[in-house]
Structure 1
Amino acid sequence: MSEEKLPKEIEITLPTAQEWVRKYKETAIEAESRAKKIDGYLIPIESLQGVMKQKIDAVRAYVGINDQGEQALMLVGTRLNVKTGIYEDVFPKTLNNEAAKEAEIVYDGTRLCPPFGDPNSPMNI
């Protein structure tokens, strides 16, 4: 198992998340044919706390390909629009240090299983 620590940064900007989803969709067929399969994702508590502190009704997960070429699971809070019956994505704002302005964010920080899985888990079938 890898000794790598979970990331401290759990927020990515909405444009970054959109790029990751685009890359995933473009490479999904290729990724499915690879020998290495993804069994799950290890999600740091900070990512869950970040999305849960919003006034939301549910959480939606999007799959993307991050800048390291790995699959990433991104978390977005949602609120139910009672008129349409659709859970609509909510993007809180945070200070983007690079641009020194507010940016809409998505929560990341997941690590792939393997290598971050529990080899003794009954979920490893």
Structure 2
Amino acid sequence: MALLCPAPTQAVALPAAKTAVIDQRVPLCRASGSLRCAQSMVVRYWYQRGSDQRRLSWVYASREPVSKGRTYVARWSYRVPGGVWKTSGWKQLRHMPRAKFAEVGWGKGGRTGRAYPRGTQVCTEHKGIKGRLCLSLK
């Protein structure tokens, strides 16, 4: 799965009976040297128009370049406004065959996921790379 970086937030209003549901798929990446997306993340969340709750469907993280036979791990974290950081455990990235990147994901996608308040910060972090990629649920 190739990501174009940077990309604008994509909002899609889906038809609903009474209340419109907004789906957000937000890509984010960090360049390093000649690589456009050495480290990247995508967050998908949804909410009903007018609601302050955001349901986080999935979080995706990838990195490049990767070497065959080497293990890469990442984790994700979040902080609700005024709260403390909550962090997942490390999870191994899958090396994509015939590709120069590895990826990992958390969640199920679709209209699933735990509810977080608007403004919650979501981050991914790769072991061995300084810094995290973070975004805020709008």
TM-score, length-scaled by structure 1: 0.26
TM-score, length-scaled by structure 2: 0.24
Higher percent of residues as helix: 1
Higher percent of residues as strand: 2
